Amino acid sequence: MKTLQISLCAGVSALALAAAPAWAQAGSKEPAQAVPPPAQQVGEAQADPAATTDRAQRGGLEDIVVTARKRVENVQNIPVAETVVSSEQLQNQQITSIERLSSVAPQLIVGRSGTGNGAAIGLRGISVNATSISLEQSVAVVIDGVYYSGGRALNEGLFDLERAEVIKGPQSLFYGKNTTAGALSFTTADPTREFHGMARVGYEFRADQVYSEGFVSGPLSSTLSARLAGRVSKQYDGIIDNLATGGTLFTTDIVTGTRTAHPFAAPSSDDIPAEKQKIFRAGLKWTPDSALSATVKATYNKVDQSTPHANVVIGFCEQGFVQSDRNAPCGRDWRSVQQRLPADIAASNPLLNRRNGLTYLEYESVGVSGNLQYDGDKVNISIVPGYIDWRTRWRGDNDFVQAYIPPSNSGNGSAEDSSLKAFSVEARAQSRFKGPLNVLIGGYYQDSDLDFQQDNLFPGGAENSAVSDQTLRYLTLRKVSHTYGKTYAGFGQILLDVSPTLNLTAGARYTHETKSSVFAQPYVIRTAQATYRQDAIGADQSFDNFSPEGTVTWKPSSDVTVYGSYKTGYKSGGFSISGLIVRNTTPADATFAPEKVKGFEGGIKTTLADRQLRVNLNAFNYNYSDLQVDFFDATIVQYLTLNAGKARTRGVELEAEYAPRPVPGLTLRGSLAYTDAKYTSFPFSPCLSGQRPDEGCTVGQTPNGVRSFQNLTGERTQQAPVWTGTSNVDYSRPIGGGLKVGFTGSMRYSGSYHTSPFANSEARRFIQGSYATFDLNVRLAEENDRWELALIGKNLTNRFITAAAFDLTYTGSGTATPAGIHADGRSSVYDPRTIAVQGTVRF
């Protein structure tokens, strides 16, 4: 580990040392280049192949344009810590999903899940786990200025992007909802004033995946432009082997006592995830003059997978075997079991039978965004409406084992139908007075409707032949819930130029949010009613928050920015609507309080060596109160969101980029980050399944209703590696005959981290060890980039990496007793080694 840390430090330092001679000879620095107007830097500059060729010929750094503060700015001039990934980087490193962003932003850790909210997104050691659909992420996902609720945004494919921004730390003023740890902002390419197009096809060998994408963009008139883009992919194989063999499920009728055998065959395919995806986007941009523009984009996205647990395996078994089935696969390998249901049981229920009893995941979404922009002499006005409509349906085999024969604890499965509809609009205006004082004011509104239904079959094989609704016959219970939410916010900022080099800003956001939630179990089979209640609970909640912030920015020269900020953030509370109502569950148990953060951040951004070198250094210290975490009790299959008390994250981040003019086409990038993220107060954390008293588990009633608890005060939070870093080499050069070659090599290092928010340092099964991964892109292209052939390798070291984990259903026993047996663990893992060939034509 130390060797890797030293290597990363040396790599980043080498960028600065390599530039030292040029820096010393530079003398007076040339002024920073002006940021191009919006029409040129969104969708046009990088859409033109000649722009990339020109950069390769002249060398040096290009300006990086961002909208982190919801206005067009050079990233080196703003007091915000962020990692920006250009369209060219996204393509060269084949970043086609949010998970793959971690290859360029090492503090970002993403664990995908087909169930719950769909993701565990962590940044700087602050994250939420994926189990509850009602729990919002602390790292918000924003696409074209529109907030995407929860973690389901992971199913939104990344393609035809202008840039991606990983914005670190609380962002309450500019992004508003649920950005206590940061935001992932994606800007899709705009329609262009000139005609451009691209077509791409590729093939990935491990998953036997074929994909294609492309776009056409250009003018319809002198003021109206259009863009059409699409991506289609299909995997004929998978990245995880499904070892399901088929078998027999026995049920016993609670009315007649009849025991029935239900044989079922193995799945027709052993491919996981066998994903199919279709994404189409259409956009229009109207620019009647240089001051006014209006853009509207509509995206349709559909994802189809062979199971919702497409990247989940049983990653650890301390007993040497899976407790619920000795024949099930376990360990750090890409193997799993996803059984089908017997045909007659599946046929009784529409959700179970969408694929004739096979497991599946279907995600379908429509997103519409608009942007009305007026850049006047005295004021800039922006209005961004957005509409999101997604629906997820799935059936999963939740115990990952072969045996379906009682009394074995197997046969646990469920099917879900959930959906979200959300409309939002944000409006803001910023003055452009020539004097030292300017102001920004704005407002935000969102209306959302989250619906949820889940049908569950638990081990034991009980059936009820007398139930009037025969879709319930083989179910243990049905859950139905919804949350209606409304958000109103107003925000403002004062901008004061104390001098030509010193700027002060002070701002705040006031938020009023209401949520009305109902969680019902309208049906529970009689044999399970001793554990689960057949009724409903709910809550009407109202939250108010005032989040202030202030920043000092000093620019001693056009190439240096020094800043310091005080920031606060807020994520509203809510109601757990996807767990289970056990006998003692009360409405108070299902509610959770808002998450809040406050702290400081500061740094220096420099552009050096005649615009050949960027070196940015940032430090931060934030304190969180009522950090929201979701606890899964594997013994009774209950999910409840809790407030973890207090946590703190602090650290230092270094980023550097070097593009030497003597070597046109070469760019070196590196980053190194130190993060110290710990619970500063979490005395009543739930115990892990099977955790013993000598491991810190105590029996007793706690303020949050936990029956057994441990003290995690001082322990590291989930997804919080102490050291992370990246190094990247991108090089392209002509070879004659109108051709050029290029390659992009990148390495990502992560120290060890906890994969569960409830693991202490002794729970080795919930610790992902330190690792390094390596990606490589080698390409041959025409010098003007009209065509390109590429060979792309990801995770070439084939490291098995767990992003998040929790106890496996119905394993573990004796919690808080000396005879406790640890549960086995379910792990959300990154992809193994993949290698693809790709061809691209631009016109």
pLDDT tens by residue, 571-628:
999 998 888 888 888 888 889 999 999 999 999 999 999 999 999 999 999 999 999 9
Query: Residue 38 has what pLDDT?
Result: 35
Give the span between the Cα atoms of 763 and 689, in whole angstroms.
Answer: 11
Q: Choose among 130, 719, 115: nearest CA to 400.
A: 115
- Is the pLDDT at 13 greater than 50? The verdict is no
Q: Choose among 625, 570, 565, 568: nearest CA to 600.
A: 565
The stretch 345-353 carries a mean pLDDT of: 94
Torsion of Cα atoms, 806 then 828 then 320 then 240, to 10°: 150
Query: Residue 398 has what pLDDT?
Result: 86
Q: Which residues contact 145 (CB under 8 A, 6 or more apart)?
A: 67, 70, 369, 371, 384, 386, 426
Give the span between the Cα atoms of 538 and 588, in whole angstroms.
Answer: 9
Q: Choose among 554, 492, 485, 553: nearest CA to 513.
A: 485
- Is the pLDDT at 744 greater than 90? The verdict is yes
Give the span between the Cα atoms of 413 and 359, in whole angstroms.
Answer: 9
CA atoms within 13 A on the CB side of 648: 12
The stretch 41-69 carries a mean pLDDT of: 55
Query: Residue 5 has what pLDDT?
Result: 41
Q: Are strands 708-710 and 685-686 parallel, antiparallel or unpaired?
A: antiparallel
Helical segments of 642-731, H only: none
- DSSP per-residue codes, 5-26: HHHHHHHHHHHHHHHHHHHHHH
Q: Is 704:642 a contact under the CB 8 Å cutoff?
A: yes
- Is the pLDDT at 556 greater than 80? The verdict is yes
- Is the pLDDT at 52 greater than 70? The verdict is no
Query: Residue 442 has what pLDDT?
Result: 96
Give the span between the Cα atoms of 795 and 747, in whole angstroms.
Answer: 9
Give the span between the Cα atoms of 331 and 802, in whole angstroms.
Answer: 11
Query: Residue 58 has what pLDDT?
Result: 58
Query: Residue 655 has what pLDDT?
Result: 95
Q: Is 207:234 a contact under the CB 8 Å cutoff?
A: no
The stretch 644-652 carries a mean pLDDT of: 94
- Is the pLDDT at 405 greater than 90? The verdict is no
pLDDT higher at 259 or 152? 259
Least confident of 100-104, 191-195, 527-531, 665-669: 100-104
Residue pLDDT, tens place only, 201-237: 999 999 999 999 999 999 999 999 999 999 999 999 8
Query: Residue 26 has what pLDDT?
Result: 34
CATH number of 2-842: 2.40.170.20
Q: For the chain, what is the mean pLDDT?
A: 87
Q: Choose among 230, 226, 201: nearest CA to 841.
A: 201
pTM, full prediction: 0.89
Dmax of the chain from CA atoms? 93
Percent of the chain with pLDDT over 90: 65
Q: CA triplet 369, 373, 378: central angle to 5 degrees?
A: 155
Q: Choose among 558, 690, 578: nearest CA to 641.
A: 578
Phi, psi angles (nearest 5°) of residue 738: 75, 15
Q: Choose among 200, 398, 138: nearest CA to 840.
A: 200
Query: Residue 57 has what pLDDT?
Result: 52
- Under DSSP, is residue 404 helix (H, G, I), strand (E, B) or coil? coil
The stretch 486-496 carries a mean pLDDT of: 96
Split at pLDDT 50, 70, 90, the class of 16 is very low
Least confident of 56-65, 386-395, 517-526, 559-568: 56-65
- Is the pLDDT at 18 greater than 50? The verdict is no
Name the residue type at position 819.
A
pLDDT higher at 98 or 469? 469
Query: Residue 68 has what pLDDT?
Result: 67
Residue pLDDT, tens place only, 799-808: 999 999 988 8
Q: Is 136:571 a contact under the CB 8 Å cutoff?
A: yes
Q: Are strands 182-188 and 139-143 parallel, antiparallel or unpaired?
A: parallel
The token pair at 344 is: 């007659």
β-pair partners for 779: 742, 790
Q: Using H for helix, E for strand and C for coil, what is the string for 710-758?
A: ECCCCCECECCCCEEEEEEEEEEEEEECCEEEEEEEEEEEECCEECCCC
Query: Residue 629 has what pLDDT?
Result: 87
pLDDT higher at 41 or 659? 659
Query: Residue 650 has what pLDDT?
Result: 97
Name the residue type at position 671.
S
Percent of the chain with pLDDT over 70: 90
- Is the pLDDT at 633 greater than 80? The verdict is no
The stretch 532-541 carries a mean pLDDT of: 93
Q: Is 128:134 a contact under the CB 8 Å cutoff?
A: no
Residue pLDDT, tens place only, 289-327: 999 999 999 999 999 999 999 889 999 998 889 988 888
- Is the pLDDT at 42 greater than 90? The verdict is no
Residue pLDDT, tens place only, 151-181: 788 888 788 999 999 999 999 888 878 889 9
- Is the pLDDT at 9 greater than 80? The verdict is no
Residue 581 φ/ψ region, left for φ over 0, alpha for ψ in the -120 to 50 degree band, beta for the rest: beta
The stretch 671-688 carries a mean pLDDT of: 94
The token pair at 368 is: 């519409």
Helix (H) or strand (E) holding 615: strand 613-625
- Is the pLDDT at 657 greater than 80? The verdict is yes
- Under DSSP, is residue 103 helix (H, G, I), strand (E, B) or coil? helix
- Is the pLDDT at 44 greater than 70? The verdict is no
Q: Based on DSSP, count helices (H) and strands (E) in the chain, helices before strands.
A: 7, 49
Query: Residue 176 has what pLDDT?
Result: 72
Residue pLDDT, tens place only, 106-131: 889 888 777 777 778 899 999 888 77
**Cβ burial 109-147 (10 Å sphere, 16+ → b, else e):** bbbbbbbbbbbbbbbbbbbbbbbbbbbbbbbbbbbbbbb
